[in-house]
């Protein structure tokens, strides 16, 4: 496996990259541990992008997909609404994107182009437990086991989870991002990144840029980058 790119300076995202991202497909599949979904760029099959993203991250098309995906995840605006999708299964369907969908989208656990099939929302293999905490059904500090969810909640959460690929396709088709120059996470999509749904504040971008610009030998650099990255990546 070759090394993934490192982003320490802002990256140009031109109009043709944004148009290319609009042709991405969100494909649902069985990842072995459960249902999940992946971003499939135009020109790739699902199997091809899953292999290339991890084995050939410096290939030009993969590096391009990484740049534009990171830019959309961090800086694009996307709000609850009914959206007409162009490339989702059942082409031309209407997707009703709710605030619950978006709260879950913000904590999706991505590994490059694919959502982790074992821990899709980042912490627990019993992922409906993570969903319930995120949506306020359970307190964040509640130690209750997943099988103790209130009656009927498990089924509703599973239905929400199964609808997330369609929501992601609506994001691909409609999230708002203008051509421009954007600071990306230094580890690209191999770090912890998910759609913010609104751009970080200029102060958070500046703090992160200052942290990653420090020489590697600077005492405490790793901690400063970690703290600034957490503020940079996580929605306010």
Q: Report pLDDT digits (tens) over 181-228.
A: 999 998 888 888 899 999 999 999 999 999 988 998 999 999 999 999
Tell me the C-alpha distance between 99 and 91, whole Å. 23
Tell me the C-alpha distance between 129 and 189, whole Å. 25
Read off the pTM.
Answer: 0.90
**Per-residue pLDDT, 2:** 40
| Neighbouring C-beta atoms of residue 92, cutoff 10 Å | 9
170 neighbors 83 (Cβ within 8 angstroms):
yes
For the segment 87-103, what is each residue's pLDDT rounded down to a tens digit?
Answer: 545 556 899 999 999 99
- CA dihedral sign of residues 174, 175, 181, 183: negative
For the segment 109-144, what is each residue's pLDDT rounded down to a tens digit?
Answer: 998 999 998 889 977 778 888 899 889 887 766 555
Tell me the C-alpha distance between 235 and 79, whole Å. 14
The dihedral region occupied by 201, where left means phi > 0, alpha psi between -120 and 50, and beta the remainder, is beta
For the segment 46-94, what is each residue's pLDDT rounded down to a tens digit?
Answer: 999 999 998 998 899 999 999 999 999 999 999 999 999 875 455 568 9
């Amino acid at each position: 496996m070759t090394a993934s790119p490192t982003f320490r300076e802002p990256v140009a995202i031109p109009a043709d990259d944004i148009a290319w991202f609009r042709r991405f497909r969100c494909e649902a599949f069985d990842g072995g541990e459960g249902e999940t979904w992946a971003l499939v760029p135009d020109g790739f099959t699902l199997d091809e992008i899953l292999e290339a993203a991890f084995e050939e991250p410096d290939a030009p098309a993969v590096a391009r997909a990484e740049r534009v995906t990171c830019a959309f995840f961090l800086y694009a605006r996307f709000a609850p609404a009914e959206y007409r999708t162009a490339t989702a299964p059942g082409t031309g369907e209407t997707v009703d994107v709710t605030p619950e969908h978006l709260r879950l989208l913000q904590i999706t656990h991505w590994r490059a182009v694919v959502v982790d099939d074992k821990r899709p929302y980042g912490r627990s293999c019993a992922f409906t437990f993570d969903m319930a905490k995120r949506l306020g059904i359970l307190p964040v500090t509640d130690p209750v086991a997943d099988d103790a969810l209130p009656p009927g909640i498990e089924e509703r959460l599973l239905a929400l989870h199964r609808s997330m690929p369609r929501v992601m396709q609506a994001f691909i088709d409609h999230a708002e991002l203008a051509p421009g120059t954007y600071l990306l996470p230094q580890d690209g999509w191999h770090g912890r990144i998910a759609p913010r749904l609104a751009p970080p504040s200029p102060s958070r971008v500046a703090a992160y840029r200052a942290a990653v610009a420090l020489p590697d030998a600077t005492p405490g650099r790793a901690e400063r980058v970690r703290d600034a990255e957490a503020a940079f990546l996580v929605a306010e």
